[in-house]
Structure 1
Amino acid sequence: MSSRLRLLLAAVGLLALAWLLLAALDRALALAQRFMGLPTGMRWLVGGVLLLVALAGAGLGVWWLRPRKPRTPVVAPDRASLEARIERLREADTDVEELRKELGELDRRRESDRTYLAVFGEISTGKSTLIAALVPGASPERDARGGTTRDVVTYETSAWDAPWTVADVPGSSEADGETRERLAREEALRAHAVIYVCAGDLTRTQGDELRWLGDFGKPLLLAVNKADQWTPDELARILSRVREQAGGVPDAVLAISAGGEERFTRRLPDGSTEDVTRRRAANVQPLLDALRQLLAPGSAALEAQRQNAVLAGLHERTGERERAWRGVEAERIVRRYARRAVVGAMAAVAPGSDLVIQGALATGMVRALAALHDVRVTDVEIDNLLRQVRMTLRTGTSVALAVAGNALKAFPGLGTLGGGVLHAFAYALIFDSFGRALAATLAERRTLDQEDAGERMRELLGEAGASRLRHLAELTGEALRDR
């Protein structure tokens, strides 16, 4: 664009802006004149409303522009309580060997007095190539396919008169790579510091990974790789956007060139083509300078942060094991009490009309499920819950009987035994629905929420699937045969 054309456009823009300002001023004067012409009482009313709107707008602006509180790191439980939980899972025949090995690795690294660094990021961003530039003599596996790092590979080196271990972890966002991604996250938590590698603007997944690392309080550098592919102006804009997208989580955002090889096809003067491979120059000095500053305190000073991150990660993984174990154990408890209810149902006059006959079983199931989820319950809470269940069953008895009758049609051997089997199956359905609803409420809310449990029970009574009905029919038959 020529200088004259730019000057003309600037003049047109200034004139348009001046016209808009004059139009706004004219409109404001007209509104002020109309306002002054209002009766006194109306002026006070309109003025008060405008003042409230102005104050609300100012308050919103102050709230929007207020300094954001930094994200607080995840605080890990103390090691003794974590070991007690792991031991409890081991006593329940749950596989916890992986968790115990993690504690052993935590101790081993603390005693080694080495600095551990993890290079983390999505596939095909140049992590392995960066390792080769950081660690002289390292030869990570390279391949034309994305996601070539299949396991955690470590390289030992010495820099700045200190022993170092650099870990090359599998890349995230790989198709069907959930297991390798889990390995990468676990190794990132074990490290004293993390280099997160990207190759341009951050995706939503990359932003989530950065915030996850930040929540664990990891010393973190964000390296924007392949900087040699952009012009200086393009690189400046990319770094500005990445810093904004990162939201202040990394300790520093740097542009680097990891180097490596590039392949392309060149057309020769005679019309033929040839495949050419050439080395790209690496420039990782900004990253090395930032690492030197970030890790200047030494591994001993950073050990507390590292241990907190590892124990916090173990806390999450132990929680996953506990939830899985409780789910299996809750199924077992509900099945046991449903079988007992089937046997007791043969003495019931009208299944579902009351839980007086089955009251002791219902109370026992509530206590067993509450103890499983470490929720304390009182006799009053149990009585209130069972009272609501009875109210639910007064309106749901016909539904339970209809479901039971239709289900037994698929089992001629049971269906021909008469109304007693129908009552028994209805009680199996009631106890199974009640137990499942209560277990789900206790697991999610960590309290005995009778309204939530009642709502879940109504849904389970009315939406019993074919596989669940078959399971209950088999349970009913087994219980009656044992009886």
Structure 2
Amino acid sequence: KKVRRLLAFGVVMFTLLLLLFIFVATRTALDLWERLQSVPAPLFYTYASLIGLLVLASLWLVYKLLRPVKTGVAGENKPLSEERLQDELAAAEDAGMETAELRRELERLQQRKQAGRIHVALFGNISTGKSSIIRALLPDARIEHQVEQQAAPAVDVQGGTTQRITRYTWQSESGDSLILTDLPGRSEAGGSLDEMARDEAVRAQIVIYVTDSDLSRQQFDDIVELQRFGKPMIVALNKSDRFSEQEQQQLRARFAQYFGEHTNKAGMSASNTPAEIKLVFVTSGGEEEVLRVNADGSEEKITRPRAADVSALAQALQTEIDAHRELLESLRDASVFVLVKQKLDADKRDFQQQQAEAIIKRSTRKAIIGALAALSPGSDLVIQAVLGTQMVKQLCQLYQVPVRQLDIDKLLELSTGTLRKNTSLLLAVAGNGMKAFPGVGTITGGLTHAVAYGLIFDALGHAVAKTLQQRGKLQPAPVALTFNQMLGENLESRARNFARLVLDSRND
């Protein structure tokens, strides 16, 4: 009941004070207006202009403080083009990144466009007959060049330890110049397509996947992954002479069902993926075992060369070239742009992580030195606040994230609340870290506080960097939550490391 009376009294007093303010403000405004009527016109308009400018400046400042911060890089949603990639590469070089390999990728694209050749990539597992198909398809083909790549130790020994890309040049009957890229075969060991294979799929204009049986789960996944690159795609089922006409029809129906259902579930359309993957049956040659009946009636098994028949694949290739001649160029260009963009983004993430680590280490060292150099109690708080603000601004600049001082102040306020709850723990751990060094274990005060500041800045810096990388903007609440988690990770080992840094800084 007393609380309600106090609230009622407060409402009455607030109303009276508000009315008093309105009366005084009204009287002052009327008095000012009356006086302004008697002044010269130039003075009147000058005074009114100053008042208007002051109001506009105040409104602009309020807007700047309260407007939502734009995140991401300008133009991020614009279509990829060579000009945009060149601008991004130039910006990356200005930041200190190495972009020579990415520029070479764009140069290779220009060379391919000028040559006017159609690039076809062949994929498939080991021993499915890719090389035999090429020999049957292109008997007069010549090897343009080979690229060898040493495989990782984890590669199945059955697949060999050296991977080789072989490129063949061929002139089709219709006069089209083709480059066929024979990629290293894959074992059935599982995993996903390696980076080399994915890059070749991106560079190619047509993709051929070779198999010699009904699709395994791994082969199905490979085809789905290759299909996502949006290129015309042909699946060549080798050694088709083992299947009767009826079995081939069954395989066609099962194939159409597999990829029809997958395309519908994935929500793919002709705008980002070819509407259909063509299935053709081929025989690449090799040897076959037959039963020969001799003149005396005896029988014997002999091996003889198997006749090659890749006409269906050659026809499917020519059909794709004739039907999509203009589209093949645009598909290849767009895919290479995406490849360069993806590699640039990956390199940028690695570069930003390295630079962020360097910023955090520098700021942490400055915080430790600032704690050691504090001349009076409380002066270190001012130093650490300035250093903390600088570290956050540098990290935001590195990740190209606009930042407001209001957000930084809010972040430091939330972080301070976390520190109040953990001050005793941090000082205790810092003291234990100092005890690991003989002769200084009993020293307290400045050294212990310096170690604690090292722990704080290290955790805060990594929390800010992680949030900027994941969210693309500075959000004080998530940063404070991550900071609280990182502050308690590996406290003892981190404390010993910073104790060593404190002692080195003191000696310096």
Place the TM-score, normalised by the shorter chain, in its bin. 0.7 to 0.9
Report deviation, 1:132.
1.9
- Greater shift, 81-90 or 384-393, is seen at 81-90
Contact 1:155 1:165 in 2 (8 A): yes
In structure 1, the partner of 2:395 is 369
Distance 1:149 1:345, change over 3 A: closer
Contact 1:76 1:315 in 2 (8 A): no
Show the 5 A alignment for 1:76-87.
77-87=80-90
1:273-322 CA-to-partner distances (Å, cap 9, x unmatched) read x9986544333222222211111056555211110000001100011100
Show the 5 A alignment for 1:278-317.
279-297=305-323, 299-317=325-343
Report deviation, 1:190.
1.3
In structure 2, the partner of 1:161 is 175
Report deviation, 1:451.
2.5
Distance 1:80 1:406, change over 3 A: farther
Q: Does residue 422 of the first structure (1) align with residue 448 of the second (2)?
A: yes
Contact 1:201 1:238 in 2 (8 A): yes
User: C-alpha distance in 2, partners of 1:188/1:318?
Assistant: 18
Report deviation, 1:380.
1.0
Letter in 2 for 1:162: D
Contact 1:172 1:181 in 2 (8 A): no
Contact 1:119 1:197 in 2 (8 A): yes
User: C-alpha distance in 1, partners of 2:252/2:491?
Assistant: 54
Give the counterpart of 2:284 among 236, 259, 264. Answer: 259
1:315-347 CA-to-partner distances (Å, cap 9, x unmatched) read 000111000000000000000100111012233
Letter in 2 for 1:161: G
C-alpha RMSD of the superposition: 3.5
User: C-alpha distance in 1, partners of 2:443/2:287?
Assistant: 78
Contact 2:119 2:178 in 1 (8 A): yes
TM-score normalised by L of structure 2: 0.69
User: C-alpha distance in 1, partners of 2:309/2:469?
Assistant: 52
SS of 2:80's partner is: coil
Report deviation, 1:174.
7.5
Report deviation, 1:170.
2.3
User: C-alpha distance in 2, partners of 1:436/1:79?
Assistant: 35
Show the 5 A alignment for 1:104-253.
104-138=107-141, 145-146=158-159, 150-159=163-172, 160-172=174-186, 181-246=194-259, 247-248=262-263, 251-253=276-278
Report deviation, 1:188.
1.7
Give the counterpart of 1:102 among 99, 105, 110. Answer: 105
Contact 2:288 2:303 in 1 (8 A): yes
Give the counterpart of 2:458 among 409, 412, 432. Answer: 432
Report deviation, 1:372.
0.7
Distance 1:211 1:472, change over 3 A: farther
User: C-alpha distance in 2, partners of 1:416/1:131?
Assistant: 78
The aligned length equals 397
SS of 1:157's partner is: strand
TM-score normalised by L of structure 1: 0.72
User: C-alpha distance in 2, partners of 1:145/1:277?
Assistant: 26
Contact 2:233 2:278 in 1 (8 A): no
Report deviation, 1:204.
4.9
Report deviation, 1:75.
8.6
Identity percentage of aligned residues: 38
Contact 1:149 1:169 in 2 (8 A): no
Contact 1:252 1:290 in 2 (8 A): no
Structure 1, unmatched stretches of 5+, are 1-73, 267-273
Letter in 1 for 2:468: L
Letter in 1 for 2:281: I
User: C-alpha distance in 1, partners of 2:105/2:463?
Assistant: 35
Q: Does residue 88 of the first structure (1) align with residue 91 of the second (2)?
A: yes
Contact 2:450 2:502 in 1 (8 A): yes
- Greater shift, 280-289 or 418-427, is seen at 280-289
Structure 2, unmatched stretches of 5+, are 1-76, 147-156, 264-272, 292-299
Letter in 2 for 1:337: S
Report deviation, 1:254.
1.2
Contact 1:151 1:170 in 2 (8 A): yes
User: C-alpha distance in 1, partners of 2:492/2:306?
Assistant: 62
SS of 1:239's partner is: helix
